[in-house]
A and B are shown apart, each in its own frame.
Chain A
């Protein structure tokens, strides 16, 4: 059977490519996505994850029955930063998938929508939480309750995507962003992500404790010594992720 989710690791960047039938993440694809997340989670070489889709759209929706494996939990457990390359329709489960990324780069033709409520169901892959964290409570409610589509320009304005590019530039821009991140300290990237995402569910004081503990833990890594040495010697650092 043809695979719906391909993973390739090259120079610290793990690329997850969706090859979905009719741009829909069906149950089989959902299972493959969980497996992909699992394999990346166990690969210490990976500093950055990219999710993109080979189809006409990023993803127009997906299976949501109770038996569908929860790929949102699997992806949320990934420590390295995730970049999503978005184009075409980013709808329903597809929109929820995009929101699990840390940096979203969208082609100008991207269209976001949450159609679940209109179809008499709820987002079940984190969308009610991740959307509100991204665009605020009011806009999240408006989008989820009304099902209104928003285009890339508005998505950029409200902070749903970090940048917007011409369709033919999407791939290059995402690759460039991934390579830029891969040059930074891999452990630092993971810890910065952890401090921001996990800290946002804590009181400020607990969050600051978390940040400090991770900060001090980083002091024991080779990467941090390399970072400081490179700064003092005015050269480009070379990190091992240790």
Chain B
């Protein structure tokens, strides 16, 4: 008997916190079709789970994530169906729109889609020694996980152009100075620290939490994040 293949994304609920862990450590959590499908399944389950107030996102292995699995890109469908599938299973829109507070803990050399995934989260913490890069243009591609949109909104057009056009990696301290990372800790403490913050977020009143998230994002995403019943009142009053 062989063991069943391990899940490419691990999911576990502890109290009000959903723990999501990318689990393709041998390829630095390269994002492939299996990961897309599993992540979509996990994220939609979280979205619809009223017991979950916060989500933590980590990666197993040497790096949080290295972006799209290029070994699978050769076997890609036609551009027409690729585009169709992108919106049919909108993993990244689902992550961005989660009514819960999403908190990522990153480590290692984070590249491409791995980096972009972080920028779709509400809070990002990182281990010492982490670096972030968008190498796509060097391979004749552009970022495809919303990075060309989230990065300039976070750090301004100038820095976003520089990082995207040159592909030069950003060290964790520089990322923190730019506001991309909210805190830097030694790697052995990262998961515990992030989880503690998530537990605090999960304890917030649901309506308040959703309203704050929506209001803070209002300018960059006026039509985003549909509010659950009741939260709209908070939003209206807070405005």
B82 and A219 form a contact (CB under 8 A):
yes
> Given A81-B161, A215-B144, is A188 in contact with B137 using a C-beta cutoff of 8 Å?
yes
- The answer, among A160, A216, A225, for a CB contact under 8 Å with B83, is A216
Known: A103-B165, A197-B157, A203-B223. A232 touches B71 (CB 8 A): yes
In the bound complex, CA of A223 to CA of B162 (Å): 21
Chain B residues with Cβ below 8 Å from A191 are 142
Among B82, B93, B149, the residue within 8 A (CB) of A199 is B149
- Point out the residue from B73, B79, B220, B224 that lies within 8 Å of A220, measured CB to CB: B79
CB proximity of A20 to chain B, nearest CB, Å: 25
**Which of B83, B96, B139, B160 is the one whose CB lies under 8 Å from A227?**
B139
Tell whether A127 is near chain B: CB-to-CB under 8 Å: no
**For residue B237, which residues in chain A have a CB less than 8 angstroms away from its CB?**
none
B48 at the A interface (CB under 8 A): no
**A228 on the interface (CB 8 Å rule)?**
yes
CA distance A127 to B82 in the complex (A): 40
Binary contact readout A182-217 vs B (1 if CB under 8 angstroms, 0 otherwise): 011101110111011101100111011011111111
Which chain B residues in 135-155 approach chain A with CB under 8 Å?
A: 136-144, 146-153, 155
What are the nearest 6 A-B pairs in CB distance? A227-B140, A185-B140, A227-B139, A223-B140, A195-B148, A207-B149
Q: Are B166 and A188 in contact (CB under 8 A)?
A: no
Among A7-15, A22-30, A51-59, A128-136, which stretch is in contact with chain B? A128-136
| Interface: A171 (CB within 8 A) | no
Question: In this assembly, does B221 line the interface, its C-beta being within 8 Å of a C-beta of chain A?
Answer: yes
Known interface pairs A162-B162, A181-B165. Does A227 touch B138 (Cβ–Cβ under 8 Å)? yes
Q: Report 5 cross-chain contacts, Cβ distance below 8 Å, ordered by A residue.
A: A102-B158, A103-B166, A159-B158, A193-B165, A228-B140
Chain B contact residues, majority secondary structure: helix
Q: Please, how many angstroms separate the alpha-carbon atoms of A187 and B76 in the complex? A: 20
What residues of chain A lie closer than 8 Å to B149, measured between beta carbons?
A: 195, 199, 204, 207-208, 210-211
Measured CA separation A191–B161 after assembly (Å): 11
Is there an interface contact between A159 and B140, defined as CB atoms closer than 8 Å? no
| Cα separation A225 to B139 with both chains bound (whole Å) | 9
Beta-carbon contact of B223 and A237 below 8 Å: no
Q: How far is the CA of A81 from the CA of B94 in the complex (A)?
A: 32
**A200 and B161 within 8 A (CB):** no
Q: Which residue of A lies closest to B76 (CB)?
A: A219
Interface size (A, Cβ < 8 Å)? 56
- A231 contact from B139, B142, B167, B222, Cβ within 8 A: B139
Q: Which of B76, B150, B158 contacts A134 (CB 8 A)?
A: B158
In the assembled complex, A218 has its CB within 8 A of some CB on chain B? yes
Q: Which residue of A lies closest to B138 (CB)?
A: A184
Chain A's closest residue to B134 (CB) is: A192
Q: How far is the CB of B70 from chain A (nearest CB, A)?
A: 5
Bound Cα distance from A235 to B218, whole angstroms: 45
User: For the complex, is A173 an interface residue (Cβ under 8 Å from B)?
Assistant: no
Check: B193 CB closer than 8 A to any chain A CB.
no
Q: How far is the CA of A227 from the CA of B142 in the complex (A)?
A: 11
Shortest distance between the CB of A141 and any CB in chain B (Å): 16
Complex Cα–Cα for A189 and B165 (A) = 6
A68 at the binding interface (Cβ < 8 Å)? no
Q: Determine the distance from Cα of A187 to Cα of B136 in the docked complex, in whole angstroms.
A: 12
Q: Does B89 contact A (CB under 8 A)?
A: no
